[in-house]
Amino acid sequence: MISEKQLIKDCQHYKKAAQFELVKRYSPMLMTVSRRYAHDQATAKDILQESFIRIFSNIQNFRPTGSFEAWMRKITVHCALQWLKKRANLNESIVYEINDWHPIEPAVFSRLETEEIIGLIQSLPAGYRAVFNLNIIEGYTHKEISIMLNISESASRSQLTRARKILQKKLNSQKLTKETST
């Protein structure tokens, strides 16, 4: 199998076979990223396609000092956010009551399949979904998220809180359903 370094080099020379190989190799990983931001499969595919186009357009700018996967993941996140900004209201349902939040037990995640969790994340409202992904999975701070999504920092915090609450409810009900079925 062709090495990642060679693959990048060939893609930087705009070799079509290498570009196709790159799509084949990294589609599943990047699809997970785009699915976390999109509310359905079709949108996730759109984001993924846009991401690949942007990857091929900008691959000359990639410096091998960093991780290629992280670079592609970042582009996919940016594409997803672009899509969200255009099609979704990120300021929807800003929540002010932050005192009634009870911390979610993260261990519950390990009892569920990743696919199920992605499904739950997809069911979140667009703004919550974006903030949750950016903060919990990508590791951005609220300040960074506020700039990326053009929302206030407190809105980012409150949306994350709300997202966690919704996820908690859904996870509990899912867990309950599972326990009932078993």
Partner 1 sequence: MNWEKFKNNMHDHESQVDPNEIWGAIEPEVNVINKSKKDKRRFLLFWLFGGLGVSLISTLVIWSMNTGQITKTDQMSMSEATNQTETLADGEPESSITESISEANSGNNLNAEFTKENDTPGNVDTNGNSETLATGNEGFPVTEDSNLKGESSSEKTTENFKNHSHAVQENKVGTDEALISLPEMQELINEEGSVINNSALPNDNETIAIFEEGQGAMQAIYVLPTQAISLTDVDDRSILSNLFDFASNFPLPILENNYTQKPFSFGVSAIGGASLVNRQFSQKDSAAIDLITLRESTEKTLEAHHYGLMFSLKHKSGFSLTTGIQRTSIAERFDYNESFEEVITIQGIDTLFVDINLDTIAIMGEIPMVRTTTFNNRNFNTHKLLDIPFLIGYERQFGKWNLGARAGILANLAMKSEGRILQDPSNILEVELQETPIYRPNIGLSYQFGLHIRREILPNLDLSFSPMLRVLPNDFSSSSYNVSQKYTLFGGQIGLTFRIGD
- What is the DSSP secondary structure assignment for residue 2, as one 8-state letter? -
Among 2-10, 43-51, 123-131, 173-181, the segment contacting partner 1 (CB under 8 A): 43-51
Residues 6+ apart with CB under 8 A from 78: 54
Question: 3-class secondary structure for 39-66?
Answer: CCHHHHHHHHHHHHHHHHHHHHHCCCCC
Among 2-10, 14-22, 123-131, 174-182, the segment contacting partner 1 (CB under 8 A): 14-22
> What number of residues does the chain have?
182
Q: How far is the CB of 5 from partner 1 (least distance, A)?
A: 20
Q: Is 52 near partner 1 (CB under 8 A)?
A: yes
Q: Is 102 near partner 1 (CB under 8 A)?
A: no
Site string for partner 1, 111-140 (x = CB under 8 A): ---xx-xx-----------------xx-x-
Q: Which position among 4, 8, 9, 56 is part of the footprint of partner 1 (CB under 8 A)?
A: 56
C-alpha to C-alpha distance for 146 and 137, rounded to whole angstroms: 16
Q: Is 19 near partner 1 (CB under 8 A)?
A: yes
Q: Phi/psi at 99 (nearest 5 deg)? A: -85, -20
